[in-house]
Chain A
């Protein structure tokens, strides 16, 4: 499976016609194994574009830096949901983005200069192999596999006792070094001033201490409730391997059950926390 040629010819066409002035895509990194983001401004450079199973990055984050400029972007199905999210939240304009959607077979785990060829965990339960939104599709639309239990990891955690979960999360949060890579990489994290950097009131103390880390990790996840598009980039970039998907996916699962909503499937459905239903009870004060 190699879509590189198709992407290159489309990119060249878009640049030469002047439809866009930048293509955001992937190129081979210097280690010769993994992929890294690439910004193409000249038609002569399109041959550097590639796409294969090592193209892990969710490039939609970069669209936030090019809000008013015509841009083309290469997206995987999960990334395409991020574009819907950003349009829904009025962060980007649909007519400024040309979307080159790629039918995704799943992304492999990779290190600095090696790849095991094994699929990433997030890709194992993926039910979105064709982008939800695109202008040009590369590859044949795939039929979705029947995944009976989309949240086996979350159910496993729910089955534990409160005490076990407390011990588990305290251990995880105590390892956090608060580098905020999870935030930097997330297309949903675009606040100009993040709560964690507020000094007055200082919600999260500067010390890298377990309690402060817990506030950070809990609220980071909660700010993405009903907004996380499950690209799992936060977990991939975490230098201390905190299983952030367990937090994000729990919230995603609950939002799906309570409000019948999945983030980024379309750009019109109101976000679950900006709307309400007067009749719903949600188990409060009954």
Chain B
């Protein structure tokens, strides 16, 4: 019997808002899919496009970046820089054939445990509908 496809998601969460938001979802016992692997970063501005491209190359089906809402950055302006860079990266990834549904940038605050659960659930559902990536590139990578 075929095993149901489970998308793999790499999530980069800012330490101050989204990581705390995900933590709140946990302590509030809100269920959301376990498909996401969370990597904690100091700020969404830390997310180098290289991290995203590398995740896709290593076999991720989707990449989610979550940070503080604009105006709420712990470092005042890190997410403003991230926003410009990642918006361009999003378009560029689509251009090189990585469907735009596979990459998401979301602002999730420390109090938005419910929103975090919703973001991950809908992202996972979307990826499951999309199916595995049609690529030969990551298969030969250990």
Q: Do A and B bind each other?
A: yes
Mark A residues whose CB is within 8 Å of B.
157-158, 162-170, 173, 195, 203, 205, 209-212, 214-215, 218-219, 221-222, 225, 247, 250-251, 254-255, 258-259, 272-273, 276, 278, 280, 282-285
> Please, how many angstroms separate the alpha-carbon atoms of A214 and B59 in the complex?
13
Q: By the criterion CB–CB under 8 Å, are A258 and B97 in contact?
A: no
Mark B residues whose CB is within 8 Å of A.
49-50, 53-54, 57, 70-71, 77, 80-81, 83-89, 91-92, 94-99, 105-107, 134-138, 140-141
7 pairs, CB–CB < 8 Å, chain A vs chain B: A165-B97, A166-B96, A169-B97, A212-B57, A254-B92, A259-B84, A284-B105
In the assembled complex, the CB of A162 is this many whole angstroms from the nearest CB of chain B, namely 5
In the assembled complex, the CB of B133 is this many whole angstroms from the nearest CB of chain A, namely 8
In the assembled complex, the CB of B103 is this many whole angstroms from the nearest CB of chain A, namely 11
In the assembled complex, the CB of B34 is this many whole angstroms from the nearest CB of chain A, namely 23
Query: B88 contacts which chain A residues (CB < 8 A)?
Result: 222, 225, 251, 254-255, 258
Q: By the criterion CB–CB under 8 Å, are B97 and A282 in contact?
A: no
Main secondary structure of the interface of A (DSSP, over half): helix
Query: A158 contacts which chain B residues (CB < 8 A)?
Result: 95
- Residue of A165, A203, A254, A285 touching B107 (CB-CB under 8 A): A285
Main secondary structure of the interface of B (DSSP, over half): helix
Query: B141 contacts which chain A residues (CB < 8 A)?
Result: 205, 209, 211-212
- A211-B57, A219-B50 as given contacts; A166 in contact with B84, CB under 8 Å: no
Q: By the criterion CB–CB under 8 Å, are A162 and B94 in contact?
A: yes
> Please, how many angstroms separate the alpha-carbon atoms of A282 and B50 in the complex?
20
- A162-B97, A258-B88, A276-B83 as given contacts; A170 in contact with B54, CB under 8 Å: no
- A170-B137, A222-B92, A282-B83 as given contacts; A163 in contact with B106, CB under 8 Å: no
Query: B81 contacts which chain A residues (CB < 8 A)?
Result: 273, 276
In the assembled complex, the CB of A194 is this many whole angstroms from the nearest CB of chain B, namely 12
- Residue of B77, B96, B137 touching A165 (CB-CB under 8 A): B96
> Please, how many angstroms separate the alpha-carbon atoms of A163 and B99 in the complex?
8
Q: By the criterion CB–CB under 8 Å, are B84 and A273 in contact?
A: yes
